[in-house]
Amino acid sequence: MSGSMTSDPRQPTRQALGRWLLLASLLLLGACGAKQVVVTGKYPQPLMSRQPLTLGVFYPDEFRGHEFFDEAKGRADSDWLVKTGDAQIRMWSTLFNGMFEQVIFLDEAPVGDTEVPEVDAVLIPRVDELQYAIPTHTNIKVYEIWMRYAFELNAPDGTSIAQWTMTAYGKTPTAFLQTDEAAVNLAAVVALRDAGAHFATLFPNVPDVANWLQSRNRTVAAGTTP
């Protein structure tokens, strides 16, 4: 005990200095590492009259695990990995449940001529493209996320009813003590909300969907099974 108390007094200083140097090196190296964002957020149910449809929804694996990777362009840049898969599923599932009378989430992809039972149509969403911009790229004090979706609406027997694309955009201003990751997450949440808003207002107005809905309503009104 006394031995340790009377040992070289410079020893703790050296250890402390070593720790500080290690910490400083880690901080400096950390600045060069990849920045990763797993998008998290809450998404409200849409406030609208539900479409009288039983909709089958299939999320492809690429959609469920959607992520975007951007390699650093230079030494001053960082690699970016933005994972939106979980957030996509949460947002779209909440939206579909609020938009349609009944929603059945399919575990397996509808194949060929095999009819999917008990649904009026099957919707398959995909993320075609995602782009992001941060203030260091644009010199504008906003973080931006832009996404392009592709949708397929098929009849239960697999024939195509409609195919369309749709964009979504989200931005958030810079804020004091806000990290790049937190700002990109917020921009992604705004983009997802925008995607939901765009889909909710666009869906009944996509020409092929509108025609299908009209003919379906006529058939239902005539009292025959569509």
Partner 1 sequence: MKTRRLTVGMLVAASALLGGCVTSTVDEMVFNAPTVESMEDASVVILGRRHASDYETEPDFISCIGDHIKRGNSEVEIIAELDFMNALYPWFEPRTAPLRPADIDRLLLQPPVADKLADLKTEYMIWIDGTTVQTNASGSMSCAVGPGGAGCFGFGTWGNDSNYEATIWDFTDKAEVGRVSTSTSGQSYMPAVVVPIPIIAPVKGTACDSLGDQLLQFLSSGY
Binding residues for partner 1 (CB under 8 A): 17, 20, 24, 44-49, 140-142, 171-173, 175, 193-194, 196-198, 200-201
Are the C-beta atoms of 183 and 134 separated by less than 8 Å? yes
User: Please, what is the minimum distance in Å from the beta carbon of residue 223 to partner 1?
Assistant: 26
User: Please, what is the minimum distance in Å from the beta carbon of residue 111 to partner 1?
Assistant: 33
Q: List the end-to-end C-alpha distance of the chain, in Å, as a whole number.
A: 89
Q: How far apart are alpha carbons 54 and 34 in whole angstroms? A: 43
Q: For 63, left (φ over 0), alpha (ψ -120 to 50), or beta?
A: alpha
Are the C-beta atoms of 154 and 121 separated by less than 8 Å? yes
Give the nearer residue to partner 1 in terms of CB position, either 8 or 61: 8
Structure tokens at 74: 């230079």
Give the nearer residue to partner 1 in terms of CB position, either 172 or 185: 172
Q: How far apart are alpha carbons 68 and 165 in whole angstroms? A: 19
Structure tokens at 186: 């917020």
User: Please, what is the minimum distance in Å from the beta carbon of residue 160 to partner 1?
Assistant: 27
Give the nearer residue to partner 1 in terms of CB position, either 45 or 219: 45
Q: How far apart are alpha carbons 40 and 117 in whole angstroms? A: 34
User: Please, what is the minimum distance in Å from the beta carbon of residue 16 to partner 1?
Assistant: 9
Q: How far apart are alpha carbons 170 and 113 in whole angstroms? A: 39
User: Please, what is the minimum distance in Å from the beta carbon of residue 187 to partner 1?
Assistant: 10
Give the nearer residue to partner 1 in terms of CB position, either 2 or 49: 49
Structure tokens at 21: 């140097």
Give just the sign of the alpha carbon dihedral 156, 162, 163, 169. negative
Give the nearer residue to partner 1 in terms of CB position, either 85 or 170: 170
Partnered with residue 147 across adjacent β-strands are 130, 168
Q: Which of 208, 204, 207, 213 is nearest to 46 (CA)?
A: 204
User: Please, what is the minimum distance in Å from the beta carbon of residue 199 to partner 1?
Assistant: 9
Give the nearer residue to partner 1 in terms of CB position, either 163 or 178: 178
User: Please, what is the minimum distance in Å from the beta carbon of residue 116 to partner 1?
Assistant: 28
Give the nearer residue to partner 1 in terms of CB position, either 189 or 209: 189
